[in-house]
């Protein structure tokens, strides 16, 4: 299998698959966002080092500069979720193809105007190719190569017709297009011209109908023949090399690769095969088997292997020594490699992560969601989740892994000196098939696991032949199946005409054709073969002129054409001309990662989110969200909904289904409770002299809760509910009666009354006269006066004496008092070491009772310090 869209070379974007709405919407968004900003400056020296990268969850494109590894532009595309689009771009033109609809749009990058539109068959199977020298729309399924004007998309000349089921379709560095023709075993070089494309070279690289994958290299092309386990390289100077390669399992190859060495990723067991002309090497890699292990490329004498399952790009030298592991948050999705100029880009389409790799192997992170750029400040990606308990699999239900089973329906049709052998796939028994081994007529063939068709020629008419087929995987070989006796014959019927295919909304495809002329031979039936890009397989036989390909037999979303072979006993006609292209489809898969939870901002409301499932060949037009008695429909590019009207703390069953042209998917289901009235209790506290920290135990009821402090029933302050509520600006040595009221949109409740005290701070009165001082002042004084305010107003409320201890509440400022000075009978110091002060201490003498700080010492503090005592 080939992995398309790897190379950008001198382009800003090459073969990037994104999700976008109508191209006209994209153009409008680009013009509104970028025109006039210089973002598309034609004078930019960095243009050839930039790459547009897609982020699926955010539905946006970000342009990453390859020299600075910085994202310099990003924007969200209107209605961008779910529709895969192929992008081809040069410095002056942009081509978009919506995969689901087949619509192609052309945009002039100098003006950002929509300049042309074209229609192609929907689904995978049509490829765009664009260079400075020309543009092509390649219908791989039908075998048509159409040169078009890159601005208007109007056809230039007549299309080139090849046998159905092409592979590849990319430009080389000289501006020539390369396409593989597996049914002929050839590759062709095509040159765009003003009068229409011309085939300028055809090279035989394989026997007809073998499985081929074409990679355009920095110098020449490489063709992997998975059937014969060979690699053919053809260089720009005409040198041709054919080399045996080790393919132990399914292979992934890139459509283009920047280096001169061809690299193949074997996904199971994971390994890399490299070919440099006659030199082939194979080495194991550290990745685990995975369908997220992508096509590798050689870049400056290093092999880069994208691995979405582990979130890594593995880096090896040409001898298979591991050099680096570049980490990239893949988010459970694929990591795609692109290159432009002298820069390699790794893009995780499921996240905002990207990596830029320079020629010397230096890898730099390039986050696509920067906010300090044009188009920034986008909302954060929504988190998705599921049932945490489902992460681990059920060991008891895991299938036992072993060698494959036997193939079924092994048989063949015959022609003049040839037999077309075919069979149905063998069960892989938990380990991917690596090959089929076919034996018979004194020969042995190894056939790629996706092929299951083998044309055997140079046989004797009238001679019976039998063949055996054995499936292999990493665990060994399966049971051998033996064909019935098959006799080649020159007596064959005519092929049928008028083959038509129709994709049905139940996942089936109906194929119809005209009755064939047996040319004197009895027509015993018809064999139907499905053709996709680079592959073909027999899907069934019919006694009449209609055949229905069963549901699930073909890949949804992939284009197929069909050929019908007339059967006369074991004899067979040549295949018919291919049918029209159709894209099989079915109802979508159920939505994934369904999460339903009570709304935190609205009572009686449930917020629902999910991840987009596989659309199975047709756009998802809407989702139907059902919760209790409520039903809500949302657009197919939306993955959230809110449903309201429920009671408090009501348990609600929630389901979400996806809808496309075929109908409604099976539901994804879960349950959720709506918001309830919150509850709260004060479970304890700790305190300082001026603060009490209330320890709260509460249930916010699933909503955004606010807590309000009540002192003696009077509201004081409110805040988002913390685990500890700090009650501040309190007096020391004081008991307080408190409650906390919690509220959310569903209601409120109040804790029981809680009594707590601040830290007790004591002070001791000191007055020197009471220690025997004999002065005129002492003879007239009787202790220290206590006042109702912080000044000596002549109206004391009582007396306190040296040695008396009092609880201190707080301090304030007032009249300044000195403790020493020259009097009529001499100089006296009534409180040694104490400084004059305007501070007054509130004490527990009466409800409002103050004494000068100069006459009291706070326990545990310096004489001139109030210690922990707060200010009043």
Q: What is the pLDDT of residues 435-483, one digit of tens each?
A: 999 999 999 998 888 778 888 999 998 899 999 999 999 899 999 999 9
For residue 761, the model assigns a pLDDT of 97
Does the pLDDT at position 6 exceed 70?
A: no
Q: What is the pLDDT of residues 352-386, one digit of tens each?
A: 999 999 999 999 999 988 877 765 644 444 444 43
Calculate the dihedral angle through the C-alpha atoms of 217, 221, 224, 225, rounding to the nearest 10 degrees: 180
For residue 16, the model assigns a pLDDT of 38
Characterize 406-419 residue by residue with b for buried, 16 or more Cβ atoms within 10 angstroms of its Cβ, and e for exposed: bbeebbbbbbeebb
Q: By the 8 A CB rule, do 229 and 447 touch?
A: no
Does the pLDDT at position 272 exceed 60?
A: yes
Q: Closest Cα partner for 761 from 677, 870, 670? A: 870
For residue 81, the model assigns a pLDDT of 54
Write phi, then psi, for 121 (nearest 5 degrees).
-65, 140
Q: Which of 101-110, 123-132, 586-595, 793-802 bottoms out in mean pLDDT, i.e. has the lowest?
A: 101-110
pLDDT classification of 349: cutoffs 50, 70, 90 = confident
Cα 422 vs. chain centroid, distance in angstroms? 39
For residue 773, the model assigns a pLDDT of 84
Per-residue DSSP letter, 258: S
Q: By the 8 A CB rule, do 169 and 138 touch?
A: yes
d(CA 675, CA 600): 7
Does the pLDDT at position 14 exceed 80?
A: no
Contact residues for 210 (Cβ-Cβ < 8 A; gap 6+): 182, 185, 225, 226, 227, 228, 448, 451
pLDDT classification of 418: cutoffs 50, 70, 90 = confident
Tokens of 800: 């306190």
Does the pLDDT at position 11 exceed 80?
A: no
Q: Which of 509-523, 566-580, 666-680, 749-763 bottoms out in mean pLDDT, i.e. has the lowest?
A: 566-580
For residue 633, the model assigns a pLDDT of 96
What is the pLDDT averaged over residues 307-321? 96
Q: What is the pLDDT of residues 739-775, one digit of tens each?
A: 999 999 999 999 999 999 999 999 999 999 887 788 8
d(CA 315, CA 360): 12
Tally of CB atoms within 10 A around 232:
23
d(CA 250, CA 432): 7
Tokens of 170: 């990319």
Tokens of 569: 């006993």
Q: How many helices (H) and strands (E) does the chain have?
A: 2, 74
Q: Which of 35-44, 87-96, 224-233, 862-871 bottoms out in mean pLDDT, i.e. has the lowest?
A: 35-44
Write phi, then psi, for 196 (nearest 5 degrees).
130, 155
pLDDT classification of 29: cutoffs 50, 70, 90 = very low
Beta strand spans in 552-667 (E): 561-568, 571-572, 592-598, 606-611, 622-627, 630-635, 640-643, 651-660, 663-664
pLDDT classification of 76: cutoffs 50, 70, 90 = low
For residue 84, the model assigns a pLDDT of 67
The 3-state DSSP class for residue 854 equals helix
User: What does each C-alpha distance from 132 to 8, 508, 783 come to in angstroms?
Assistant: 12, 42, 104
Cα 188 vs. chain centroid, distance in angstroms? 37
Does the pLDDT at position 602 exceed 80?
A: yes
User: What does each C-alpha distance from 502 to 538, 546, 784, 800, 862 come to in angstroms?
Assistant: 17, 11, 109, 107, 97
Tokens of 529: 């073969």
Q: By the 8 A CB rule, do 270 and 293 touch?
A: yes
Does the pLDDT at position 33 exceed 70?
A: no
What is the pLDDT averaged over residues 335-339? 90
Identify the residue whose tokens are 């103050």: 850
- 39/70: higher pLDDT: 70
Contact residues for 395 (Cβ-Cβ < 8 A; gap 6+): none
d(CA 337, CA 348): 9
- 345/60: higher pLDDT: 345
User: What does each C-alpha distance from 182 to 164, 531, 532 come to in angstroms?
Assistant: 9, 11, 11
Among residues of the chain, what percentage have pLDDT more than 70?
90
Supply the mean pLDDT for the chain: 87
Q: What is the pLDDT of residues 45-73, one digit of tens each?
A: 334 477 778 777 776 778 888 888 888 77
SS3 of 361-415: the string is CCEEECCCCCCCCECCCCCCCCCCCCCHHHCCCCHHHCCCCCCCCCCEEEEEEEE
Q: Closest Cα partner for 218 from 341, 46, 90? A: 341
Strands in 177-181's sheet, in edge-to-edge order, are: 167-171, 177-181, 186-191, 198-204
Does the pLDDT at position 620 exceed 70?
A: yes
Q: What is the pLDDT of residues 103-126, one digit of tens each?
A: 898 887 666 678 999 999 888 899
Q: Closest Cα partner for 263 from 294, 231, 296? A: 296
Q: Which of 274-278, 297-301, 398-402, 608-612 bottoms out in mean pLDDT, i.e. has the lowest?
A: 398-402
Q: What is the pLDDT of residues 302-312, one digit of tens each?
A: 999 999 999 99
Does the pLDDT at position 728 exceed 60?
A: yes
What is the pLDDT averaged over residues 391-418? 73
Output Rg (C-alpha) for the chain, integer angstroms: 41
SS3 of 425-473: the string is CCCCCCCCEEEEEEEECCEEEEECCCCCEEEECCCCCCCCECEEEEEEE
What is the pLDDT averaged over residues 330-336? 89
- 497/412: higher pLDDT: 497
Give the containing element (helix H, strand E) for 359.
none
Contact residues for 306 (Cβ-Cβ < 8 A; gap 6+): 293, 294, 295, 296, 313, 334, 335, 336, 337, 346
Does the pLDDT at position 574 exceed 60?
A: yes
Q: What is the pLDDT of residues 625-670, one digit of tens each?
A: 999 999 999 999 889 999 999 999 999 999 999 999 999 999 999 9
For residue 312, the model assigns a pLDDT of 96
């Amino acid at each position: 299998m080939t992995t398309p869209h790897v190379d950008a070379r001198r382009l800003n974007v090459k073969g990037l698959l994104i999700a976008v709405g109508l191209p006209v919407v994209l153009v409008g968004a680009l013009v509104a966002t970028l025109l006039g900003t210089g973002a598309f400056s034609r004078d930019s020296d960095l243009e050839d080092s930039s790459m547009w990268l897609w982020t699926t969850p955010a539905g946006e494109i970000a342009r990453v500069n390859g020299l600075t590894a910085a994202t310099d532009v990003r924007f969200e595309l209107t209605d961008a979720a779910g529709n895969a689009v192929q992008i081809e771009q040069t410095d002056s033109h942009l081509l978009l193809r919506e995969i689901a609809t087949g619509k192609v749009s052309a945009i002039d990058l100098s003006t950002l105007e929509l300049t042309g539109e074209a229609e192609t068959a929907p689904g995978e199977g049509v490829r765009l190719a664009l260079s400075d020298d020309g543009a092509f729309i390649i219908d791989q399924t039908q075998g048509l190569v159409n040169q078009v004007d890159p601005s208007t998309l109007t056809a230039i000349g007549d299309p080139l017709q090849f046998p159905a089921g092409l592979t590849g379709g990319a430009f080389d560095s000289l501006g020539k297009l390369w396409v593989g023709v597996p049914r002929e075993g050839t590759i062709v070089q095509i040159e765009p011209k003003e009068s229409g494309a011309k085939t300028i070279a055809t090279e035989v690289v394989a026997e007809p109908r073998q499985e081929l994958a074409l990679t355009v290299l920095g110098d020449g092309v490489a063709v992997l023949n998975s059937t014969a386990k060979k690699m053919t390289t053809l260089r720009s100077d005409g040198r041709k090399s054919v080399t045996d390669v080790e393919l132990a399992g399914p292979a992934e190859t890139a459509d283009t690769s920047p280096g001169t060495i061809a690299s193949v990723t074997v996904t199971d067991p994971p390994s890399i095969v490299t070919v440099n002309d006659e030199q082939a090497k194979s080495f194991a890699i550290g990745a685990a088997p995975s369908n997220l292990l992508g096509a590798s490329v050689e870049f400056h004498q290093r092999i880069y292997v994208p691995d979405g399952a582990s979130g890594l790009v593995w880096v090896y030298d040409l001898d298979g020594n591991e050099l680096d592991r570049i980490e990239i948050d893949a988010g459970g999705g694929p990591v795609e490699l692109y290159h432009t100029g002298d820069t390699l880009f790794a893009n995780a389409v499921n996240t905002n992560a990207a990596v830029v790799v320079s020629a010397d192997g230096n890898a730099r992170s390039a986050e696509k969601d920067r906010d300090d750029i044009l188009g920034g400040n986008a909302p954060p990606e929504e988190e998705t989740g599921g049932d945490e308990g489902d992460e681990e699999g059920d060991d008891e239900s895991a299938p036992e892994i072993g060698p494959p089973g036997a193939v079924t329906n092994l048989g063949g049709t015959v022609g003049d000196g040839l037999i077309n052998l075919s069979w149905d796939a063998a069960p892989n028994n938990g380990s991917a098939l690596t090959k089929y081994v076919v034996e018979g007529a004194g020969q042995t063939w190894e056939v790629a696991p996706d092929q299951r068709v083998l044309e055997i020629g140079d046989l004797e008419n009238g001679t019976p032949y039998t063949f055996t087929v054995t499936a292999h995987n990493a665990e060994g070989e399966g049971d051998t199946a033996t064909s019935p006796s098959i006799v080649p014959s020159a007596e064959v019927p005519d092929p049928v005409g008028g083959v038509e295919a129709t994709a049905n909304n139940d996942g089936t495809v109906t194929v119809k054709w005209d009755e064939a002329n047996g040319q004197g031979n009895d027509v015993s039936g018809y064999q139907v073969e499905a053709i996709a890009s680079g592959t073909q397989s027999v899907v069934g036989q019919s006694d009449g002129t209609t055949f229905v390909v069963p549901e699930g037999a073909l890949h949804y979303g992939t284009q197929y054409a069909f050929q019908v072979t007339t059967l006369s006993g074991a004899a067979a006609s040549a295949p018919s001309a291919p049918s029209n292209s159709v894209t099989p489809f079915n109802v979508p898969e159920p939505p994934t990662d369904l999460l339903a939870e009570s709304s935190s901002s609205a009572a009686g409301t449930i917020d629902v989110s999910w991840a987009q499932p596989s659309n199975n060949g047709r756009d998802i037009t809407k989702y139907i969200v059902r919760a209790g008695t409520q039903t809500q429909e949302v657009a197919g590019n939306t993955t959230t909904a809110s449903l309201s009207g429920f009671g408090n703390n009501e348990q609600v069953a929630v389901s979400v289904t996806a809808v496309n042209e075929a109908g409604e998917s099976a539901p994804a289901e879960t349950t959720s409770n709506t918001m309830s009235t919150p509850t709260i209790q004060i479970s304890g506290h700790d305190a300082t002299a001026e603060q009490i920290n209330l320890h709260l135990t509460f249930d916010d009821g699933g909503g955004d809760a606010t807590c309000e402090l009540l002192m003696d029933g009077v509201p004081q302050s409110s805040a988002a509910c913390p685990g500890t509520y700090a009650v501040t600006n309190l007096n020391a040595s004081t008991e307080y009666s408190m409650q906390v009221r919690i509220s959310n949109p569903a209601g409120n409740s109040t804790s029981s009354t809680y009594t707590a005290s601040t830290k007790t701070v004591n002070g001791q009165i000191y007055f020197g006269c009471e220690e025997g001082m004999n002065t005129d002042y002492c003879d007239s004084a009787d202790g220290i006066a206590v006042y109702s305010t912080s000044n000596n107003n002549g109206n004391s409320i009582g007396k306190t004496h040296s040695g008396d201890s009092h609880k201190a509440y707080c301090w304030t400022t007032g009249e300044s008092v000195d403790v020493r000075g020259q009097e009529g009978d001499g100089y006296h110091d009534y409180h040694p070491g104490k400084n004059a002060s305007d501070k007054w201490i509130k004490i527990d003498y009466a409800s409002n009772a103050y004494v000068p700080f100069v006459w009291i010492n706070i326990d545990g503090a310096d004489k001139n310090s109030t210690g922990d005592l707060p200010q009043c």
